[in-house]
């Protein structure tokens, strides 16, 4: 599924995100979605979410 479309993103889903500090390297962090932060329906770089661990990043993969 595509992480750039908000309707694909559900609270409680297991995802991989890229954090702001890791955008250059592309390193992904996995976790469970706690909140969806992007309000628009789509975003070209991925929907911004907060994971249960407190990490904020843009969704790159939905597991």
pLDDT value for 15: 97
pLDDT value for 1: 80
Encoding tokens for residue 62? Answer: 């939905």
Would you list the domain boundaries of the chain? Answer: 6-62
For the stretch 19-54, pLDDT in tens is 999 999 999 999 999 999 999 999 999 999 999 999
Class of domain 6-62: mainly beta
């Amino acid at each position: 599924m595509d992480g750039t479309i908000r309707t694909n993103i559900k609270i409680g889903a297991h995802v991989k995100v890229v954090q702001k500090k890791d955008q250059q390297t592309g390193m992904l962090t996995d976790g469970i979605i706690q909140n969806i932060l992007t309000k628009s329906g789509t975003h070209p770089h991925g929907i911004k979410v907060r994971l249960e661990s407190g990490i904020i990043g843009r969704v790159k993969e939905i597991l």
